[in-house]
């Protein structure tokens, strides 16, 4: 039976359009090889949307995302829109806004270094052996969504001691928000190695103390079979480098997860290898964990693999196309095993003629898919 999957594409800024083109290319090949047709609707988000409409998340974008079966987002942001003025629009408001509007509270970031890339990591191969973790980052609460303000006229706040400015952000969590993300983590652990590290800062923060209580309550009531380990976030930052193979599932607050996932990406050799799935109760969104890399935008050298690995997650989670997802994953591994690299994952063994750009990397993956 033939089937059509509607995908809302959000290319965004910087290298976003370049890596989006590779995702479309690969999905085109998948259409040819199967009875599934992928249809695309492109919409504006981030800086591109600010330039065209004055806002980072136009209504039309939200409508297109809601209508689609899945959303594929590349990256947003860039120096052009960098400002510390709280009254000016920022590209990040588009990303945070769409996550919130679609109710995407669970961000899954798998970190599994590929053998072919072990020389690309700054860590020794024996440290990387057996690393296979899933970071479950809470995505619509915490510090990125709590009350914030900049206050003026505050006595004693100026650098010289006089009347000046003060700013604050707040980390807020409800029991409900904590319980649903913990559930995502425990469910995921049951399909993996059955271990969850719950990462918090309960020795200092009240929101972390509630986090810990709720995670344990849920664990004891419904998931006693899953191994649960509490870890303080500063310790986790260290353990990720010291002994990353200890982790199966890490579940943590929004900002802790943002920071720890960038750190963990280096176990794979490059931030350009880290995919993500953002899931909620409705349409899901898939995006690489890296940013828009404005320094290399438009040069055709960006690594499209985190984007293609995000496509793999989309095929699995939104479309249930596990065979197609497996084929894509093994095509990517095959291309890397043959020694092909983008610059960010090249090492001293990479042949100069096998160091390729964005579009050739996409072609290589597409060719492998066809050959399977």
**Which residue number, 58 or 142, has a Cβ lying nearer to ligand IPM?**
142
**Which residue number, 82 or 213, has a Cβ lying nearer to ligand IPM?**
82
Does the protein bind ligand IPM through residue 92 (CB under 6 A)? Answer: yes
168 is catalytic: no
| Contact by Cβ (8 Å): 107, 276 | yes
Put the strands of the sheet holding 106-111 in their side by side order.
Answer: 36-42, 3-12, 70-75, 284-286, 277-279, 106-111, 133-138, 249-252, 195-200, 227-232
Min dist CB 344 to ligand IPM, Å, is 17
Catalytic residue among 105, 144, 173, 223: 144
Among Mg ion, ligand IPM, none, what binds residue 14 when CB lies within 5 to 8 Å by partner kind? Answer: none
Q: How many CA atoms lie within 13 A of 121 on its CB side?
A: 25
Name the one range near Mg ion by CB under 5 A: 64-72, 73-81, 159-167, 251-259. 251-259
Span between the terminal Cα atoms of the chain, in Å: 22
69 is catalytic: no
The site string for ligand IPM over 139-178 (x = CB under 6 A, - otherwise) reads ----------------------------------------
Catalytic residue among 262, 317, 326, 363: 262
Structure token pair of residue 271: 């931030």
258 is catalytic: yes
What residues from 278 to 337 belong to the interface with ligand IPM (CB under 6 A)? 289, 291
3-class DSSP assignment, residue 277:
strand
Neighbours of 157 (CB within 10 A): 15
Does the protein bind ligand IPM through residue 5 (CB under 6 A)? Answer: no
| Contact by Cβ (8 Å): 307, 19 | yes
Q: Which residues contact residue 3 at a Cβ distance below 8 angstroms, ignoring those fewer than 6 apart?
A: 35, 36, 37
Region of residue 101 (left: phi > 0; alpha: psi -120 to 50; beta: else)? alpha
CA distance to 209, 340, 367, per residue, from 352 (Å): 52, 10, 21
Longest dimension (CA), the chain: 73
Does the protein bind ligand IPM through residue 138 (CB under 6 A)? Answer: no
Min dist CB 28 to ligand IPM, Å, is 26
Among ligand IPM, Mg ion, none, what binds residue 12 when CB lies within 5 to 8 Å by partner kind? Answer: none
What residues from 240 to 259 belong to the interface with ligand IPM (CB under 6 A)? 258
326 is catalytic: no
Does the protein bind Mg ion through residue 258 (CB under 5 A)? Answer: yes
Min dist CB 75 to Mg ion, Å, is 10
| Contact by Cβ (8 Å): 13, 78 | yes
Min dist CB 289 to ligand IPM, Å, is 5
Among ligand IPM, Mg ion, none, what binds residue 92 when CB lies within 5 to 8 Å by partner kind? Answer: ligand IPM
What DSSP string runs through 84-132? --TTS--HHHHHHHHHHHTT--EEEEEE---GGGGGGSSS-HHHHTT--
**Which residue number, 228 or 271, has a Cβ lying nearer to ligand IPM?**
271
Name the one range near Mg ion by CB under 5 A: 59-67, 86-94, 218-226, 257-265. 257-265
Contacts with ligand IPM by CB under 6 A lie at 77, 92, 95, 258, 289, 291
Give the catalytic positions in this structure.
144, 201, 234, 258, 262
């Amino acid at each position: 039976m033939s089937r059509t999957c509607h995908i809302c594409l959000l290319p965004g800024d910087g290298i976003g359009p370049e890596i989006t083109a590779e995702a479309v290319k690969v999905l085109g090949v998948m259409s040819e090889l199967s009875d599934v047709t992928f249809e695309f609707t492109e919409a504006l988000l981030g800086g591109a949307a600010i330039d065209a409409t004055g806002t980072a998340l136009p209504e039309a974008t939200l409508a297109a995302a809601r209508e689609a079966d899945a959303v594929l987002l590349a990256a947003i942001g860039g120096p052009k829109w960098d400002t510390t003025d709280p009254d000016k629009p920022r590209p990040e408001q588009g990303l945070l806004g769409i996550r919130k509007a679609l109710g995407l509270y669970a961000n899954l970031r798998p970190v599994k270094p590929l053998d072919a890339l072990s020389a690309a990591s700054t860590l020794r191969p024996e440290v990387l052996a057996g690393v296979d973790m899933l970071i479950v980052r809470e995505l619509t609460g915490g510090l990125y969504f709590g009350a914030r303000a900049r206050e003026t006229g505050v006595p004693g706040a100026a650098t010289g001691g006089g009347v000046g400015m003060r700013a604050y952000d707040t980390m807020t969590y409800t029991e409900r928000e904590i319980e649903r993300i913990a559930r995502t983590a425990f469910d995921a652990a049951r399909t993996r190695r059955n271990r969850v590290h719950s990462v918090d800062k309960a020795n200092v923060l009240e929101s972390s103390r509630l986090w810990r209580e709720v995670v344990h309550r849920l664990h004891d009531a419904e998931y006693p079979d899953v191994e649960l380990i509490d870890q303080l976030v500063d310790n986790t930052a260290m353990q990720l480098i010291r002994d990353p193979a200890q982790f199966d599932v890490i579940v943590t607050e929004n900002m802790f997860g943002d920071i720890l996932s960038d750190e963990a990406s280096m176990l794979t050799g490059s931030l350009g290898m880290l995919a993500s799935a953002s899931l909620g109760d409705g349409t899901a969104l898939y995006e690489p964990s890296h940013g828009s890399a404005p320094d290399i935008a438009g040069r055709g050298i960006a690594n499209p693999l985190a984007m293609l690995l995000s496509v793999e997650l989309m095929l699995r989670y939104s479309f249930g196309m596990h065979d197609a997802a497996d084929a894509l994953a093994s095509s990517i591994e095959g291309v890397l095993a043959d020694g092909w690299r983008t610059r960010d994952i090249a090492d001293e063994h990479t042949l100069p003629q096998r160091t390729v750009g964005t579009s050739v990397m996409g072609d290589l993956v597409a060719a492998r898919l066809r050959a399977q």
